[in-house]
Every structure is written in structure tokens, then in C-alpha cells.
Amino acid sequence: MSEEKVKIDQDECIGCEACVEICPKVFGFDEEEGKAYVIDGANSDEECVDEAVASCPAGCIRKE
């Protein structure tokens, strides 16, 4: 069984930081780029990941 990975489509991210507020252990925010990113080594099983995916207004977060 392989672990799911969380990904953000950087081209689609609008920089609202909703994912960062909901799940700060998994998502960070790049001030220079104005975009969210997945923190290296973050645990995609954190309960808040699904909430962050559902709350993203751009729909750019996915688990694969």
C-alpha cells in the first residue's frame, strides 16, 4: 500500500492561504511567489488535509 501524496498545482493557486490556515503542518506559504506549497516530508494523512482540499476555492490541491 503506497502512501498518498498531497500536491498543489502552482499555476492554479490563487494564494488565498486557506489551506495554510486549516492545515499548517502540511501547507506553507511562499510570500515571494504568493502561492501555497506542500511542506517537504509532510504527513498526507493529517486529518485536516481533506478539509483543506475541500476548502480550496481554486480547486488546485489533490491527493494522489
Residue 1, pLDDT > 90, answer no
> What type of residue sits at position 48?
C
**Residue corresponding to grid cell 494523512:** 45
> What type of residue sits at position 51?
E
> How many whole angstroms separate alpha carbon 9 and alpha carbon 14?
10
Which one has a higher pLDDT value, 43 or 8?
8
CB 8 within 8 Å of CB 17: no
The CATH topology of domain 6-58 is: Alpha-Beta Plaits (3.30.70)
Q: Domain limits of the chain? A: 6-58
Q: What is the pLDDT of residues 4-41, one digit of tens each?
A: 899 999 999 999 999 999 999 999 999 999 999 999 99
Check residue 11 and give left, alpha or beta (phi > 0: left; psi -120 to 50: alpha): alpha
**Residue corresponding to grid cell 494564494:** 15
